[in-house]
Chains A and B, each alone.
Chain A
Amino acid sequence: MINLSILLIIPLLSALAVIFAGAKSARMVALLGALAQLGYSSYMMLSYMGERAAGNTNQMLYQTKMSWFAPMNIEYFVGVDGLSIAMIMLTAVVVLTGILISWNVDKMPKEFFFLLLLLSLGAYGFFISLDLFTMFFFLEVAVIPKFLLIGVWGSGRKEYSAMKLALMLMAGSALVLVGLLCLYFNTNVNGAHTFDLLQISKMHIPIEAQRFIFPLMFVGFGIFTAMFPFHTWAPDGHSSAPTAASMFLAGISMKLGGYGCLRVAAYLMPEAAHEYSWIIILLSTIAIIYGAFATLMQTDLKYINAYSSVSHCGFVIFGIGMLTKTAITGAVMQMVSHGLMTALFFGTIGMIYERTHTRQVAQLGGLLKTIPFIITVFVIAGLCSLGLPGLSGFVAEMTVFMGAWQNPDTFSRVATVLACASIVVTAVYILRTTGASVMGPIKNPDFLTFKDAAWNEKFASITLLLCILAIGVAPYWLSDLVSPDTQLIMDNISRVVGK
Chain B
Amino acid sequence: MLSTNLIVLIPLLPLISFLLIALVGRKNFPNLCGALGTIALLTSFLLAATVAYDYFFVAGKVNGIYQQMVPMKIKWLEFSPNVSIDLGILLDPISVMMLVIVTFISLMVHFYSLGYMKGEERYATYYSFLGLFTFSMLGLVISSNIFQIYMFWELVGVSSFLLIGYYFDKPSAVAAAKKAFIVTRFADLGFLIGILVLAYYSGTLDFQTLITRLTTPTDQLHAITTASFLGASALTWGLLLVFMGGAGKSAMLPLHIWLPDAMEGPTPVSALIHAATMVVAGVFLVARLFPVFSISCPSALQVVTWVGASSSLFAAIIACTQTDIKRVLAYSTMSQIGYMMFALGVSGYGGEHGLGYMASMFHLFTHAMFKALLFLGAGAVIHYVHSNEMKDMGGLRKLMPVTHITFLVACLAIAGIPPFAGFFSKEEILQAAFHANTTIFVIAICTAAITAFYMFRLYFNIFWNKEYHAVSHVHDDHAAHDDHHDHGEGPFTMKLPLMILGLLSIVAGFLPFAHLVTSDGKPLETEFHITFSIAPVLLATGGILLAMVFYKKENPRPQAIANGLKGLYTAAYHKFYIDEVYLFFTKKVLFNLVGRPAAWIDKNIVDGTMNLLAFITEQTSYLIKRMQSGRVQSYAAYFFAGVIGFVLVFIYWWK
Contact = CB atoms under 8 A, between A and B. Distances in A.
Interface of A: 164, 167-168, 228-229, 231-233, 236, 290, 293-294, 296-298, 307, 325-326, 366, 368-369, 383, 386-390, 394-395, 398-399, 401-403, 405-406, 408, 416-417, 420-421, 423-424, 427-428, 431-432, 435, 439-442, 474-476, 479
Nearest to A426: B185
B189 A440 contact: no
B602 A232 contact: yes
25 contacts: A167-B614, A228-B606, A232-B607, A236-B607, A293-B598, A294-B599, A296-B591, A297-B598, A325-B80, A388-B155, A389-B155, A395-B77, A401-B192, A402-B196, A403-B79, A405-B197, A427-B182, A427-B185, A428-B182, A432-B178, A440-B170, A440-B174, A441-B169, A474-B76, A479-B77
Given A423-B185, A441-B171, A293 B595 contact: yes
A435 B178 contact: yes
Contacts of B85: 398
Interface in B572-613: 590-591, 594-596, 598-599, 601-602, 606-607, 609-610
Contacts of B169: 366, 369, 439-442
A144 B186 CA distance: 43
A428 B595 CA distance: 12
Nearest to A474: B76
A363 to B, nearest CB: 16
A477 B301 CA distance: 40
B259 interface: no
A435 to B, nearest CB: 5
B158 interface: yes
B174 A390 contact: no
A297 B610 contact: no
B460 to A, nearest CB: 37
Nearest to B154: A389
B196 A475 contact: no
A233 B609 CA distance: 12
B78 interface: yes
B200 A405 contact: yes
A479 B614 CA distance: 42
Interface residues of B, number: 50
| Interface residues of B, dominant DSSP | helix
Contact of A423 (B161, B177, B189): B189
B79 A475 contact: no
Contacts of A387: 154
| Interface residues of A, dominant DSSP | helix
Nearest to B125: A372
A448 B11 CA distance: 39
B285 interface: no
Given A389-B151, A475-B77, 15 more contacts: A164-B614, A232-B606, A232-B610, A236-B607, A290-B602, A293-B595, A294-B599, A296-B599, A298-B599, A368-B168, A423-B185, A424-B186, A431-B181, A435-B175, A441-B169
Contact of A168 (B154, B596, B601, B610): B610
Interface in B185-222: 185-186, 189, 192-193, 196-197, 199-200
B315 to A, nearest CB: 24
Contact of B598 (A294, A424, A435, A479): A294
Contacts of B168: 368, 439-440
Contacts of A369: 169
Contact of A439 (B165, B598, B609): B165
A226 B350 CA distance: 55
B420 interface: no
Given A164-B610, A326-B79, A368-B168, A405 B189 contact: no
Interface in B130-167: 147, 150-152, 154-155, 158, 161, 165
B178 A229 contact: no
Given A368-B168, A389-B155, A394-B151, A293 B79 contact: no
Contact of B76 (A386, A431, A441, A476): A476
A406 B606 CA distance: 32
Contact of B181 (A293, A408, A427): A427
A402 B199 contact: yes
Contacts of A435: 165, 174-175, 177-178
A22 to B, nearest CB: 38
Contacts of B193: 417, 420
Nearest to A432: B178
Nearest to B594: A293
B155 A402 contact: no
Contacts of B161: 431
B189 A399 contact: no
A326 B80 contact: yes
Contact of A420 (B170, B192, B199): B192
